Structure 1
Amino acid sequence: MSAHPVPRSSWLFPASAVAFVAVTAALGIGFTPSVSGILFSVVLLAILFGTVFAAVHHAEVIAHKIGEPYGTLLLTLSVIIIEVAVIATIMIGEKSAPTLARDTVFAVVMIVCNGMVGLCILAGGLRYSEQEFQVSGAKIYLSVLIVLSTMTLILPNYTLTTPGPLFSALQLAFVSVITMILYGLFLYTQTVLHRDYFINDDEDDDGAPPTHSIKMNAILLIVALVSVVALAKSFSVVVDAGGAAIGAPAAFTGIVVALLVLMPEGVAAFSAARHNKLQKSINLSLGSALATISLTIPAVALVATLLGQPLVLGLPPSETTLLVMTFAISMLTFATGVTNILFGMVHMLVFAVFLLTVFAP
C-alpha cells in the first residue's frame, strides 16, 4: 500500500512558529496598539492556530500507529498541554486571572455540549434526516461529564472550609486526584473494557492515515507543542488587547482559549457528522470535554498552588443554570440512539443563550 501524501501544513506551521518566535525574540518585536500591532496579531493567530492543528494531526497519526489505549492518552495529553500552557502563561502575567481556568472549562463544556454537538447533529440531520449512535457510550460520557462538572464548577460554591467559590488546599488536591482517577477509569472503559460501546457497526474505525515514520511525527509533534507554549505569552497579550478593544468581559478570554484548543477536534467532529459518522463525532466532541475537565483542573491547580494564587472554580448562578439545563437537554438528546435536526437546533439555541449571557450578563 502506498503512503498517503503528507499535508504540507503539518510541518509548515511548526516551522513558521519556530521562525516567528526566533525573529520576534531577536528583534524585540511584540504587540503594540498600532497598525503594525494588528499585522503582528494576524500573523501570530494564523501561525498559532495552524500549529495547533498540526500538533493534533501528528498526535492522531502516532495514536493510530501505537494503538489503544496509549493512542487516546497521547492525543489527550497533547491537547491538554496546549491548554494548560496558555492558561498558565496568562496566570503568570501581570494581570491577575483567578477565574480563567473556570471560565475556560465552562466555555469548553458549553462549546462542546451545545455548539459542537448541536452543529454536528443539525448538519447530519439536514443531510440524512436521522442518524444513529450507541446509547451506551453516550451514557458513559454524560455520567462522567456530569460528575466532573458538578464537582469542579458547582460544588466549590457550597463548601464551608474557605469563603467564596473556592476549594481549600486539601479539597482542591482531593478533587484533582478524583478527577484523574475517574478519567483513567473512563479511558480503560472506552479503549479496553467496552470498546464496542463507542463504535457503530456501520462506521469504519479508519483512524488517521499513515504519513511520516513515527519518529518524524514524534519530532514534529514536540516541535509543534513547544512552539505553541512559546507563542502563548504573545497570544495572551493579543487576547487581552482584543477583549479590551471590544469591551468584552473577563470570560471572553476563557472562550478564546477554549476555541483554540477545541477547533481541530471540532472540525473533525463536524466532518464526521457530514459523512454520516455521528458516533465518531460524539466521541470527538464529548471526549474533548471530558479530557479538559479531568486533566486541566489538576494541572492548573498545581500551577496556582506553586504560584500562591487563588483558583476560583465555582460558577455564578446564571452559568450554573445554563450548565444544569445543558446536561438535562443532553440526557434527552442521547436517550434514544437517534437524532434529528430538532435536537441539533435546541442545542444551538442554548449555545446562543450562553454567548448572550457572556456579553450581556
Structure 2
Amino acid sequence: MSASPSAKMPIISWACPLLAVAFYVAASSVGFKDALPPGVTGIALALLLMPVLFGAIFAAVYHAETIAHWSGEPYGTLILTVAVTVIEVALIASVMMSDANGSPALARDTVFAVVMTVCNGLAGLCILVGGLKYREQSFRVPGAAAYVTVLIVMATLTLVLPNYTRETPGPSYSDSQLIFVAVVTVVLYAAFLYIQTVRHRDYFIIQAGDQGWHETHSMRQLALSGLLLLVALVAIIMLSKKFAVVVELGREAAGAPAPVTGLIVAILILLPEGIAAVQAARKDALQKSLNLALGSALATIGMTFPAVTIVALALHTPLTLGLDPSDTVLLALTLLVSTMTFATGRTNILYGFVHLVIFATFLFLTFQP
C-alpha cells in the first residue's frame, strides 16, 4: 500500500487506525492490560492483536508517504524516521516502567537489534533487491559517509564504552556519565540533522531520481493523512505494550534468551521504514532507501537513548548498556563492512549478500548465544 496523488484514499488506510483504537479499548475493558486474560479470551485477543497492529503499521506507512510526497527529500524520509522513533521510545519506556516485564538491558538489546537490523538486514535487503533488478544502483557518497561516521561515534559511546569506564562496575554508566553521553548524543544528532536538512541537503539527494517526488495533493488530503497518521501512531504505541506482553509470554514458553524480546520489538517498530525502504529500492531510489535505513539507526540512538536516560534517571532504574564481547565483535564488523559498502557510491548484489550474512549470524547468535 503506497500513496498516490491520483488515487482515492484506500478504505484500510483510515479503517485500520480506527480499528486499532477500538481494539485497544475493547481489550482493556476485558482485562488485557499488563497480562493476558485467562482461557479462550486471552488466546483470541493474542491472535487478533497481530493483524490489528500490523494493519495500523501499514496505515502509518501510507499516510507518512503521502505527507512525504508533498514535503520532498530529505524531509520526507525524516517524517517516517521520527514517527517510528516515537514508537520505539514509548514502547521501551512503558516496558521499563512495568514491574512485571521491566528489564535493565531492554534498551540496550533493542537499540543494538535496531542497529543490526537496519545496517545489515534492511540495508542488505534493499541493496540485494535493487541489484537484482537494476544490476547496480548509485547514491551520494558524502551523505552515506556522514551517516556512517555519526553512527560509529554514537554506537561506540552508547554500546561499547560503558564496558570500560571505571566509576561504576559492570556495563553501565554512572548518573553523571549517563547525562553527559545523552547530551553529546543529542548535540551530535542535531548537528547531523542540520547538515542533512539545511547546510548540505545535496549530500542526501540524487537529482535524477528526485523528479516527480513533489506530487500534487489537496490540502484536505494532506490534513486528513496527518490526522490519521497521528491516530495510527498513537494506536501502535498503545498496542505495543500489549504486544510486548504476548511476545514475553511466547519467549518464556519457548525458552528463548532475553535479548529475543528486544529483537522482536526492534523488528516491529522498523516495519514502516523497512517497507518504505524496500519499495524505494525496487523503484531504483537507493538514496531514499539509505536515508530511511541509516537515518533510522541514527534516530534510534540520537533520540531513543536520551529519552530512555531521562526515564531511567527519573525512576531510579538501572540501565545496562555495554554489549557482550560477541555482540561487540558483530557491531565492529557491521560498522567496518558498512564503511566499505558505502565508500564507492555504487552497489551490487554482493554487498547485499555480505550484509545479509552478518544479519543471519546476528539472528543465530541471538537465539543460540
Above 0.5 in TM-score?
yes
Partner AA of 1:17 in structure 2: A
Verify: 1:357 aligned to 2:362, yes or no.
no
Alignment partner of 2:208: what SS?
coil
| Residue in 2 that maps onto 1:140 | 146
Alignment of 1:1-361 (within 5 A): 3-29=6-32, 31-32=36-37, 34-65=39-70, 74-93=79-98, 94-204=100-210, 206=213, 210=217, 212-361=220-369
Question: TM-score, normalization: structure 1?
Answer: 0.93
User: How far does the alpha carbon of each residue in 1:172-218 deviate from its partner, in whole angstroms, 9 at most, with x for none?
Assistant: 11111111111111111111111111112321251677364343233
Q: Which moved more, 1:221-230 or 1:128-137?
A: 221-230
Separation in 2, partners of 1:157, 1:65 = 45
Separation in 2, partners of 1:157, 1:136 = 32
Partner AA of 1:38 in structure 2: I
User: How far does the alpha carbon of each residue in 1:146-171 deviate from its partner, in whole angstroms, 9 at most, with x for none?
Assistant: 11101100011111111111111111
Partner AA of 2:172 in structure 1: L
Deviation at 1:220, TM superposition (A): 1.8
Q: Classify 1:321/1:16 alpha carbon distance in 2 versus 1 (closer, same or farther; 3 Å).
A: same
May I ask how many residue pairs the two structures share in their alignment?
361
Separation in 1, partners of 2:181, 2:24 = 37
Unaligned runs of 5+ in 2: none
Separation in 2, partners of 1:28, 1:289 = 36
Whether the 8 Å contact between 1:112 and 1:289 is mirrored in structure 2 is: yes
Whether the 8 Å contact between 2:74 and 2:204 is mirrored in structure 1 is: no
Q: Which moved more, 1:195-204 or 1:261-270?
A: 195-204
Aligned residues with identical type, % of pairs: 55
Whether the 8 Å contact between 2:162 and 2:321 is mirrored in structure 1 is: yes
Q: Which moved more, 1:170-179 or 1:206-215?
A: 206-215
Deviation at 1:135, TM superposition (A): 0.9
Separation in 1, partners of 2:125, 2:76 = 27
Separation in 2, partners of 1:33, 1:224 = 28
Separation in 1, partners of 2:146, 2:138 = 17
Separation in 1, partners of 2:5, 2:239 = 36
Separation in 2, partners of 1:117, 1:228 = 24
Whether the 8 Å contact between 2:94 and 2:241 is mirrored in structure 1 is: yes
Separation in 2, partners of 1:176, 1:259 = 24
Alignment partner of 2:101: what SS?
coil
Separation in 2, partners of 1:208, 1:117 = 26
Separation in 2, partners of 1:257, 1:238 = 11
Q: Classify 1:137/1:68 alpha carbon distance in 2 versus 1 (closer, same or farther; 3 Å).
A: closer
User: How far does the alpha carbon of each residue in 1:212-238 deviate from its partner, in whole angstroms, 9 at most, with x for none?
Assistant: 434323322332222223223311210
Separation in 1, partners of 2:120, 2:227 = 35
What is the CA RMSD across the aligned residues, in angstroms?
2.2
Deviation at 1:44, TM superposition (A): 0.9
Unaligned runs of 5+ in 1: none
Separation in 2, partners of 1:72, 1:130 = 22
Question: TM-score, normalization: structure 2?
Answer: 0.91
Partner AA of 1:230 in structure 2: M
Whether the 8 Å contact between 1:89 and 1:232 is mirrored in structure 2 is: no
